[in-house]
Structure 1
């Protein structure tokens, strides 16, 4: 049995639905299908989920935006019309969207979760109906029916262990099962969404639950590239990655895969294949538990902007018990999560996503650090970018850091921070954002050309 997930670009319009159906039909082991909400049809289009979020915000602000509501319904109506799907299916989609809009008025957070999930739910209803009309036995399966139970953390739900036993029961069913991604239910029956991009998470959870032989994730690229193709022209394609490598790359800016999505598949050692809906015969990229060939050393270069460096310095910091804990406690008190925390004997940096620490909150945090920790220096440096070298073979290779430093020098980019994970799968560099492109290009020439 294979579990197959189709991303937003794969279900953006009726022509993509037909490609998806051909892919499912071509392999009778593709028994469980997980779908995203309809994505962009072109560069100027808007994702369905973004429309639903805007719709929810308008309701919360006191007036439902009928124009946005009509755009959402038009997306589903156009797909249904082009696929010749009955109005009864479209009616079910509209009924659920209206109910979610009413829920937003009563409870904004819970209602918005319900509204956001309507994109995936509508796709699943349409695809199941189209598979049936194409002669394939198929059923829509709601996540509650499937047994996807999650924690009550709206917009950041985590799967509960009890889900996997329920999901295994899906193996008893003979038809093709179509499950909407992105959301589950608490044991009390409350609908809760995963973090954005969470359909990847659903696919991995379902694959682990049914103990699939393979989890196929169809998107709009032929494979994973070793570097962002918008920064480097025609970069090397990666045929095989390990789970650890892909997670590091996903976290650090690779948009192909949600960074949390691989964990359930990783625990069950289920291989994952990333493929292109528009080129299903392509080899794709396999993600596996272990790969023997590690002679590439650095297999990928990930990069992302939008970071800041909170830097504190205090003489004899290393002899002050609990200093790091108290610093991070201040961030926790203010609702701020951090990414990295490299330190020296008298200083400590905390790398934070910029949106976590807006200017108004920065003043509160720096005041508390100064008053409660009595530091000598405290600065906040914004407009930072992070570049990560990834590869399980790196820990067996002498000179990676030296080669990287030379590449930064050739790019005339100053390294503001270096942090190497204890797993030795990755090495991260912090730089100013304006040097990102030239630094990545120089690193690519060093490690891949």
Structure 2
């Protein structure tokens, strides 16, 4: 049995959905299909989920929302018409939208219900089209599928009891089409995963039914060694480990949600990244272990939008609880951190810029000054992170030297470096403006030479 997930670009319009159905027809083991909401297409430069969010926001602010509603219904109407399936599907989608708009749910719960309509509608359309093509297919709501999650709107976590329920799907006949991105709490509330969470749904279902393979179809032939928007025609990666993919996904590889591998990893289910527009391509396989090569580095990822909270205090290393107090202050302000490289008198905490407002920033600095009396405390904005990823990095001589040489050749100043805590990756902090030239230089050193 294979679990197959199709991303937003794969279900963006009727022509893409026809490709999806053809892929399903090519392999009778593809029994469980997970779908995203329609993404951008040749005719539509917007994602359905974005329109649904705008529709919700307009309705909450008592603004007219007809333009957003019309654009959503027009898009689905066009897909349904071009696939020649029953118009009752469009009526069902329209009813779902109005049901949410007219509900009296708290705003967070109402937003989750609205966001979920994109994936839910895709699943209804594709199951109807599979039936139209003569295949035995069923739309399966996540509640029926057994996806039980924590009641954390916009950030649901799957509960362990889900897997026993999901395993029962093995007994069902035909093809089951399940909307991605959301599940239901124990008390029956619809709750979404973080954005892009259809990958998470696919991984949960694959783990639950103990699938032989989880295929994730997107719009690229494989995972590449670097972002192809930065380096032209980079080398592809044939095989990655779960740990390597997790690091690459976290650090900007948008081909796969960075949380999605966890259920598959725990269940030891291989994952294949494939292209809906070129399904014959081998793609990239993600597995528990791979054969180690002399060139241990498999990929280089980067992401912008970070800042560094820097604290300096002479003899910091002798103050018991110094680090704990810093993280307590961040916790009080509901802020998570990414990395925390430190020295005997210095400590840096890397934070996503989006978590900070000017007010929070001032409050954090004041609290640190009051509680810890440091010599220096400041926040540096405009940082980017570069991750060099590969299993066995700690035991491979010369990786750091090659990386720092490449950055020097590109005239990129290293603001910070962090390796010791990971055997899979090495992190460099640089200014955002230097990311692209740093990536180009690193690619030349590790893959082109």
Residue 43 of structure 1: how far off its partner (Å): 8.7
Counterpart check, 1:35 vs 2:7: no
Tell me the equivalent position of 1:58.
58
Bigger drift between 192-201 and 358-367 goes to: 358-367
- SS of equivalent residue, structure 2 residue 254: coil
Q: Distance in 2 between matches of 1:43 and 1:85?
A: 21
- Give the aligned partner of residue 169 of structure 1: 168
Q: What corresponds to 2:155 in structure 1?
A: 156
1:117 alignment partner, SS class: helix
Contact map agreement 1:5 1:218 (CA 8 A) in 2: yes
C-alpha distance in 2 between matches for 1:421 and 1:231: 28
Alpha-carbon deviations, 1:200-245, whole Å to 9, x = none?
0000000000000000000000000000011111100001000000
Q: What is the CA-CA distance between 1:296 and the residue it aligns to?
A: 2.4
Q: Which runs of 5+ in 2 are unaligned?
A: none
Match of 1:195 in 2: 194
1:2 partnered with 2:6: no
Q: Distance in 2 between matches of 1:67 and 1:361?
A: 36
Moved more, 81-90 or 190-199: 81-90
Residue segments in structure 1 that go unaligned for 5+ positions in a row: none
Q: Which residue in the other structure is 2:384 paired with?
A: 385
* 2:294 equivalent to 1:284: no
Measure, in 1, the Cα distance between the counterparts of 2:375 and 2:422.
Answer: 33
Shift of 1:143: 0.2
- Per-residue CA deviations over 1:41-66 (Å, capped at 9, x if unaligned) read 03961100000111111111123411
CA distances 1:155-187 after superposition (whole Å, capped 9, x unpaired): 110000000000000000111000000000001
Aligned to 2:102: 102
Shift of 1:401: 0.7
1:415 shift after superposition = 0.3
d(CA) in 1 for partners of 2:410, 2:62: 52
Most deviating of 181-190 and 60-69: 60-69
| Structure 1 ranges of 4+ moved more than 6 A | none
Q: Quote the residue 2:435 is aligned against.
A: 436
Query: What does residue 342 of structure 1 align with?
Result: 341
Distance across 2 between alignment mates of 1:253 and 1:336: 20
Structure 2 CA distance, aligned partners of 1:42 and 1:378? 49
Q: Which residue is equivalent to 1:69?
A: 69
Give the match for residue 318 of structure 2. Answer: 319
* Number of residue pairs aligned between Structure 1 and Structure 2: 448
Equivalent in the alignment of 2:358: 359
| Superimposed CA distance per residue, residues 322-346 of structure 1 (whole angstroms, 9 cap, x where no aligned partner) | 1111101111111111111111111
CA contact (8 A) 1:294 1:393 kept: no
> How many Å separate the matches in 1 of 2:293 and 2:9?
33
TM-score (norm 1): 0.98
Q: How do 1:192-271 and structure 2 match up within 5 A?
A: 192-271=191-270
RMSD: 1.0
Asked if 2 retains the 8 angstrom alpha-carbon contact of 1:207 and 1:270, the reply is yes
SS of 2:388's partner is strand
Cα displacement (A) at 1:294: 2.7
SS of the aligned residue for 1:310 comes to: strand
SS in 1 for 2:350: strand
Give 3-state SS (helix, strand or coil) of 2:423's partner: coil
What secondary structure is seen at the aligned counterpart in 1 of 2:177?
strand
Q: Hey, what's the Cα distance between the residues in 1 that align with 2:351 and 2:221?
A: 33
CA distance in 2, matches of 1:360, 1:282: 50
Residue 406 of structure 1: SS of its match in structure 2? Answer: helix
User: What is the CA deviation profile of residues 262-314 of structure 1, one whole-angstrom value per residue up to 9, with x for unaligned ones?
Assistant: 00000011000000000000110000010023332111000011000110111
Counterpart position of 1:121: 120
Distance 2:136 2:64 in 1: 39
Cα deviation for residue 357 of structure 1 reads: 1.1
Q: CA deviation at 1:360?
A: 2.5
Check the 8 A contact 1:296/1:393 in 2, yes or no. Answer: no
Report the Cα offset of residue 420 of structure 1: 1.0
Could you report, residue by residue, the CA deviation over 1:118-143 in whole angstroms, capped at 9, with x for unpaired residues?
00000000000000000000000000
Partner of 2:142: 143
Q: Secondary structure at the match of 1:431?
A: strand
Per the alignment, residue 112 of structure 1 pairs with 111
Partners of 1:428 and 1:102 lie apart in 2 by 48
SS of the residue 2:57 aligns to: helix
CA contact (8 A) 1:102 1:111 kept: no
Q: Distance in 2 between matches of 1:43 and 1:155?
A: 29
Residue 14 of structure 1 pairs with residue 14 of structure 2: yes
Q: 1:442 to 1:275 in 2, by over 3 A?
A: same
Q: Matches of residues 273-312 of structure 1 in structure 2 within 5 Å? A: 273-312=272-311
